Chains A and B, each alone.
Chain A
Amino acid sequence: MKIKRWQPASFVVLFLLALLVWSPLWMLITGALTPTDELDRHLSGVLGASGELASWSVLPNRITFKHVVELLLDTPAFFRVFWNSCIQVFPAVAGQILVGAPAAWALSQLRFRGRNALFRLYIVLMILPFQVTMASSYIVLNRLDLIDTPLAIILPAMFSAFPVFIMTKFFGGIPREMLEAARMDGASEWSLFFRIGLPLGLPGVLSAALLGFVEGWNAVEQPITFLKTASLTPLSVFLPATTVSNAGISFVSAVVTLLPAVLIFLLGQQYLEQGILASGIKE
């Protein structure tokens, strides 16, 4: 096997870049295991009044599990916000699939007047940032008396345009010949959707679900805007509330928050890659 001359150099460059990408994650993990006094030393520069720079060591001088125990056994509020996140995200993702998959199938397979215009409208809605639709969403939710309820987060997410867009791309990749053959064999439109569309478009459905999960899990603006009661706060809003006095707990809670997202990503990694490719999203 021939080794090209530039390969070792590119390896080093890529390794260094990878280290750079990994460093925040490493900081999270080591921070979760660092004693409070050491954290104070590292972070007092930026979080205190001195205005100096923060410092960090690759490994803590002493490893402690105090913050882990404190968060997992002595901070019931963390679990409340964790389950708040679950309650708000999982139904929203299920709803996205339930509502989005038939819509995507229709847009990709059915021929009807205004189809392209409708699809373009979906794209426009998709690219609109939350801040643009925030006021109108608030007014509608307020009229429906849903402000300050989990449904204020779930319902708008269920009717998100983004999953429809991704699934349309996947359903569009199903060979027409296959569907025609099924039609000739007497399959109804529902049969085509359930027996051919969903099994073959499963990667698209799953990638839409994964991306929907990541989006919902990290959502900050929607909870801040639509939820007022502290007991409805999700993890994404709880985390920034941590301060220098509980920096250790903050690191641990960040790691625990990260875990479901990482696990779900690993679970559907291949589908997610396909979904990202289909949507043309880079990050």
Chain B
Amino acid sequence: MMSEEKQTEAKERTFSRKVGRVLIWFFAVMLLLTFLSRAASDALKAKVSVGYTSTGSLDLSVNGTGKWASGESLFFTTYFTRRIAKVFVKPGESVQEGDPLFAYDVSTVTGGKDVSKQKVAAAERALEKAKTLLKEQPDSAYAASTVENAEQSLLLARFTYEQYVALQNGGVVRAPFSGTVIACDLAAGKASVSGTSGLEVALGTPQLTMQIPKKEAERITIGDEITLLRDGKQEDQTLSVRSISALDANDTVTVIGGGNGGTEREIGASQDWKIRKKSGQYDTCVPLEALRQGGGDTYYVFVIREKSTILGTELMAVQVDVNLLAHDDKRAAVDGELTSEDRLVTACSKEIVDGDLVVLQNAE
């Protein structure tokens, strides 16, 4: 039989062995939980992509879609009340000087006094006079408008003369102008009404009408080049800004573009356009994706800063407030406490707040 002392010793040994096993298990579990908690922590951290600050100018180009509209138009009325034999043009068609417009029925022409030639001569004199006035006063709006009116009067007088000539030469009336027919109320077989029926013609090339929001319109000035786009690609022809209207009730501005690029355009058709503009030099530009809007007009960015923690050096997203100066489609010029080395959060896998620990999407 075992002595009491030996029994106690054996019990103590068994107890120690059990405690030793528990101790080993304890450390094993701690090791396992170390990896588990680290993995869980990493999985919960937001994964972020970063961008950097830069200096430079912004692309302040303005673009949009406009509509082709006729330029200044004149209504050319028939001088005679007479049956129309044929109409050669339709609304929307462009005509060049000398092109046939319509034909009078000349089967019953008996002749008449041609007074239209004198009218043309008078109109030509008036135009010369107006041009002289404009030369003397090049900045005078009155002189410019007098020339414009005289030119229109001359065109109308020529059209009347053309009709007289036509009656003597088979009835075909030819265009004394180039332009685009907007409307025509003449029809073959029907009689024209003197001084009432006729054709409305847009003189010159069509113009591009663009509705531009106030903020973007502020960047545009008269004379700016307008690039025309078709399916996103640049066309060979360009226009230039001719006029900029005042602000309308919708806070938009109507900008008219004209020039050679408008020839052969269909009135009413849509047209994509772009006016290229560059800003001045900015010291701090951030990727537009990095800029976040707080309440109202406040803006901020998240900067990645290294933080020494118990787990070693970790990355923390720190909120830095900035003032937005300007922006284009890709970058924003800001004023704030940013350096060229700052890494800015441009995208993150989940919502982050100031002080959140993050991991980089693509470790550098």
Contact = CB atoms under 8 A, between A and B. Distances in A.
Given A263-B19, A266-B19, A267-B20, A74 B41 contact: yes
Interface in B303-324: 308-313
B353 interface: no
Interface string A70-88: 0011111111111100000
Interface residues of B, number: 24
Given A267-B19, A267-B23, A73 B312 contact: no
Interface in B262-321: 308-313
Contact of B311 (A80, A263, A266): A80
B19 A76 contact: no
A260 B310 contact: no
A229 interface: yes
A224 B100 CA distance: 103
B37 A74 contact: yes
Interface string B72-92: 000000000000000000000
B326 interface: no
Interface size class of A (residues with CB under 8 A): 20 to 34
A259 interface: yes
Contacts of B16: 266-268
A231 B12 contact: no
Interface in A224-283: 229-231, 233, 238, 259-260, 263-264, 266-268, 270
Contacts of A270: 12
Contacts of B44: 74
A73 B34 contact: no
A75 B30 CA distance: 12
A77 B310 contact: yes
Interface string B36-53: 111011001000000000
Contacts of A231: 308-313
Interface of B is mostly: helix
A230 B37 contact: no
Contacts of B142: none
B22 interface: yes
A76 to B, nearest CB: 4
B246 interface: no
B109 interface: no
B325 interface: no
Contacts of A264: 23
Of A229, A259, A263, A268, which is in contact with the most chain B CB atoms at under 10 Å from its CB?
A: A263
B361 to A, nearest CB: 21
Nearest to B29: A72
Given A77-B310, A229-B308, 18 more contacts: A73-B33, A73-B40, A74-B37, A74-B41, A74-B44, A76-B37, A76-B311, A77-B309, A77-B311, A82-B34, A230-B310, A231-B308, A231-B310, A231-B313, A233-B310, A263-B23, A263-B26, A264-B23
Interface of B: 12, 15-16, 19-20, 22-23, 26-27, 30, 33-34, 36-38, 40-41, 44, 308-313
